[in-house]
Chain A
Amino acid sequence: GDSVTQMEGPVTLSEEAFLTINCTYTATGYPSLFWYVQYPGEGLQLLLKATKADDKGSNKGFEATYRKETTSFHLEKGSVQVSDSAVYFCALSSQGGSEKLVFGKGTKLTVNP
């Protein structure tokens, strides 16, 4: 079945450092890909998405490019802030039907001042 694999955390960075969180997926067909963020004590918020190969999703300085050839959707940010500290989830949804999401296990990011 469909699955998502994220790099293990936790990740600890200093403010203004470069961030990469790796995500690869296994799916039949052409899924849509997502990054969700979960701040402490809160629910999930959509960060960005891409619906077809070579699409780049971007939001709040974060970017991820849908790479079909490597089945990857790595999250990047050029300069992280303390307020970016959260858990980041990569997810996919298969086309058609319920379009339910399949999530990775999440990567906890802590940014120190």
Chain B
Amino acid sequence: DTGVSQDPRHKITKRGQNVTFRCDPISEHNRLYWYRQTLGQGPEFLTYFQNEAQLEKSRLLSDRFSAERPKGSFSTLEIQRTEQGDSAMYLCASSSQLSGNTIYFGEGSWLTVV
């Protein structure tokens, strides 16, 4: 499977704990995106990487959230001191000019904070 891969698919955590999600983009895609989707809503942009550089961050990305893409390949999204309001699906996506800039999404990582 050469699609966007996310891990874990589901995570239940207690409030106040830290969680980390991993995303492996489509091979050779230089652009990587993180989105958040809550029930009944469309995905909301969180942040964007071009290669290893984080070029854009939404104001939705509070200081408890940090994303990295250290070698320009996989990315991690960490949420510190989780709150119940962080419960959502976290979607990763990737694209490149070679793919016509079409953005391809992974299946998402569901986070439930209890």
Binds B, one of A13-21, A60-68, A98-106: A98-106
Number of A-B contacts (CB under 8 A): 55
Is B105 a contact of A43 with CB atoms below 8 Å? yes
Does any Cβ of B come within 8 Å of A42's Cβ? Answer: yes
Q: Which residue of B lies closest to A103 (CB)?
A: B42
Interface-lining segment among A44-52, A69-77, A78-86: A44-52
The SS class assigned to the A binding surface is strand
Interface size class of B (residues with CB under 8 A): 20 to 34
Within B1-37, the residues touching A (CB, 8 Å) are 4, 31, 33, 35
Say if the beta carbon of B55 comes within 8 Å of chain A. yes
B102: shortest Cβ distance to chain A, in Å? 6
Residues on the B chain within 8 Å of A91, using CB: 42
**Residues from chain A with Cβ under 8 Å of B105 in the complex:** 36, 43-45
A106 near B48: Cβ-Cβ < 8 Å: no
Contact in complex: B45, A101 (CB < 8 Å): yes
Q: Does A89 contact B (CB under 8 A)?
A: yes
- The answer to whether A98 and B55 have CB atoms under 8 Å apart is yes
Chain B residue at minimal CB-CB distance from A104: B42
Residues of B within 8 A of A32 (CB): 101
Give the 9 A-B CB pairs with smallest separation, nearest first.
A103-B42, A43-B107, A44-B105, A98-B48, A43-B105, A43-B108, A100-B45, A105-B42, A98-B56
Residues on A facing B (Cβ under 8 Å) = 4, 32, 36, 42-46, 49, 89, 91, 93, 97-106
Q: A89-B43, A99-B95, A100-B33 are in contact. List 20 more A-B contacts (CB 8 A).
A: A32-B101, A42-B107, A43-B106, A44-B43, A44-B105, A46-B102, A46-B103, A46-B104, A91-B42, A98-B50, A98-B55, A99-B101, A99-B103, A100-B48, A101-B43, A102-B45, A103-B43, A103-B44, A105-B41, A106-B40
